Every structure is written in structure tokens, then in C-alpha cells.
Amino acid sequence: MKITILFIVVLFAVGVCGCTGNGDDVPIGGETDEHGCLVSAGYTWCEAKQKCLRTWEEPCPGMVSSFAECEALGYPVMESYPRQCRTPEGETFTEDIDEPVHDDPLQGQAVEIAEEYVMDMKPYVEENGRNLNVKMLVQMKCPGCWQVVLQYDADPGKATDDYTNDRITVNVTLNNWKVVNVVSGRGGVIVLSPEECDSKGGRVVNTLGETCASDETNAGEVEGLMCPCICCVASIVSDKLTLDEAMGIAEGIECTEKGTLTDSYMYNEYTKTWWIDLDMKEEFEKEYCNPACVVNEDTRSAEINWRCTGALPPE
């Protein structure tokens, strides 16, 4: 009787483990793929590591699908807000942030200055601006220099069938803690029902835990569900200039003749431009300037934007 009970316990333990006893941790039981990975348990074959694994438990190079996986593999992380991680293949993943939290007092100061400026802008006041929030925060290499990208909702002033309100994006540039440049763009927010999303061939995605895939486009917000949801539709053609393409355009011209491209960069959705910070050669350095190589998506051209504000007051 004891032998029978012991045999059952051993079988149960092996079943729970779901692995063979050869020390290779290869999943067994259920449907497997051509590599012997247990598909029903979420295992996939990782070519780089030559084994079966669950990507959410152990990231696999070449199979990155989120910021967390990208960071776990040790790929470069841009210290923007939210942070961005770039794979060797050129894919960029943005960290999911539910609530903006600025533990660094300097970050909080930059956001406060930018928010106060935007809330005093004529469009924000006259069009019932609301829901102001930070989309990106990047510190630059000069005293009190920041790029603060904010978004807010506003009344469009006219009724339309597709749009319920306008979403405004404002890119505020600070130098020495003063606003030196502001670029804003307006874009309608499309609101769809779940049925309308389905009719477009899309899928409903809860933005608290997921975003559209790299080959999908956000077709609009989905109403009538107990979640902040969007409709993700397969992209037909993507004309967006990739970071690798922008880097290639920047090579061999003024940007790289006078400086070196860095790993600090951002993409401006409104102007369709990549801004890549530059480390200038000593003979081309300018005091109180924070130069960037600006690559234009439409013209496929690049030039240096020096971002200078003049002399700083003595301390």
C-alpha cells in the first residue's frame, strides 16, 4: 500500500513540473511544437538560447514584445519619461506608466513649468482645455534643459460625426528653466463602438495592460466597455521613418561632420522629425547650446538645431 501511494505521489510531482527528468527542463505533456515545446503551457522555442521558455518569465533575444523584456535583456534604455528601450533590430518599446510620478524634484519642476505655461495658452483657456497629462519627459545636456511633451482634450467648436473632442499635443522646450520653444498640434479623437471596431477588422485592447502591436494602427477609442480601450487595426502601409533610417540619413553630413550622434533621441509626432542629441567636436562647440541632429521624415534630410538661448546669468 505504501509503495502504491509513493508511486502516485511521484507521478503527480512529475505532472505538476511538466518537465522531463533529463535536467534540460523541456516541457512534456499536451500539444508540442517541432522543437518539443509545450505550446498549451505558453512555451516557445528560443533560437538564441536553444531551449523552450516562456518569454514573460525569461526574455528571448529576437522575440522581444515589451519594454520589460527589452530591459531584462540589457538592451539600451533611454532615460526619457516614459523610458524607452531599443533592441539591436531597431525596435523601440516604451515603458507603460499608469500614473505619472516624478520622484526627482528636477523632473517635477520641469513638468510644473511646462504645465503652467500650457494652461495659460489662449487655446487651452478658450477651448475648455482639460485632462492635461505628461506623455514624455526628456532631460537634455545643459542647465535646466528639458523637453516636456503634454496632451490635453479641448472642445472642437463644431459638431462632427466622427470626433467627440480634439486632443492637443504640446512640445515644450525648456532652457535654464525657461520656456524657449513651444510646438503644438491638433488631432481629433475617433470614438468607436465595439461593433464598429470589429467591422474594421480590428481588435479591442485594454490600454492598462497592452498597446497596439508594431504592425497595427490605433483606429480610435472604444466606448461602452468597462476599460480605457482602443481599437487596433492591422496597418496597410507604414511610412514612419525608423530610428535606424534616421541615423543613416544623419551620417556623412553636417551632423556627423561636426559632432557624434548619441543614444539620446526622441520622435516628434507632430512635426514628423527625429531629434538625436549630438556630442559636438571641440572646435564646433557653442556655449549654452544643446545641439541635436533633426531628421525630417518627409524630406529625408537632416540639419543641426543648436537650441541656444544666449549667456546664462552668473551664479
- CATH number for the domain including 139? 3.10.450.630
Torsion (CA) 207, 94, 168, 146 in degrees, nearest 10:
150
User: Are 80 and 125 within one domain?
Assistant: no
Q: Closest Cα partner for 230 from 217, 249, 240?
A: 217
At position 92, the amino acid (one-letter code) is T
Q: Is residue 277 part of a domain?
A: yes
User: Are 252 and 282 within one domain?
Assistant: yes
User: Are 13 and 59 within one domain?
Assistant: yes
Last residue of a domain, one of 158, 189, 220: 189
Q: Is residue 232 part of a domain?
A: no
At position 186, the amino acid (one-letter code) is R
User: Are 49 and 118 within one domain?
Assistant: no
Give yes or no for a contact between 302 and 287, defined as CB atoms under 8 angstroms apart.
no
Q: Is residue 199 part of a domain?
A: no
Give yes or no for a contact between 231 and 269, defined as CB atoms under 8 angstroms apart.
no
User: Are 59 and 70 within one domain?
Assistant: no
Q: How confident is the model at residue 239, as a pLDDT? A: 64
At position 312, the amino acid (one-letter code) is L
User: Are 128 and 179 within one domain?
Assistant: yes
Q: How confident is the model at residue 165, as a pLDDT? A: 55
Range of the domain at 250: 243-305
Q: Is residue 76 part of a domain?
A: yes
Q: Is residue 231 part of a domain?
A: no
User: Are 179 and 157 within one domain?
Assistant: yes
Q: How confident is the model at residue 315, as a pLDDT? A: 43
User: Are 92 and 127 within one domain?
Assistant: no
User: Are 258 and 292 within one domain?
Assistant: yes
pLDDT tens per residue, the chain (315 residues)? 545 544 444 444 444 444 443 444 544 556 788 888 888 788 888 888 889 988 777 878 878 878 888 888 888 877 666 677 888 777 778 777 654 445 567 788 899 999 999 999 888 888 888 888 887 788 877 788 888 888 888 876 544 444 445 678 888 888 889 998 887 766 555 667 888 888 888 899 887 677 787 777 777 778 777 677 888 888 655 467 888 889 999 987 889 999 999 888 887 766 778 889 899 998 998 887 888 899 988 888 899 988 775 444 444
User: Are 57 and 26 within one domain?
Assistant: yes
Q: Is residue 230 part of a domain?
A: no
The SS3 assignment for 94 reads strand
Q: Is residue 113 part of a domain?
A: yes
User: Are 2 and 32 within one domain?
Assistant: yes
Q: How confident is the model at residue 213, as a pLDDT? A: 79
> In the 8-state DSSP scheme, what is residue 224?
S
Task: Tabulate helix, strand, coil % of the chain (nearest 5).
Answer: 20, 35, 45
User: Are 248 and 290 within one domain?
Assistant: yes
Last residue of a domain, one of 12, 41, 63: 63
Q: Is residue 223 part of a domain?
A: no
Q: How far is CA 270 from the centre of its chain?
A: 16
Provide the domain count of the chain.
Answer: 4
Q: How confident is the model at residue 98, as a pLDDT? A: 53
Last residue of a domain, one of 78, 97, 116: 97
Q: How confident is the model at residue 26, as a pLDDT? A: 47
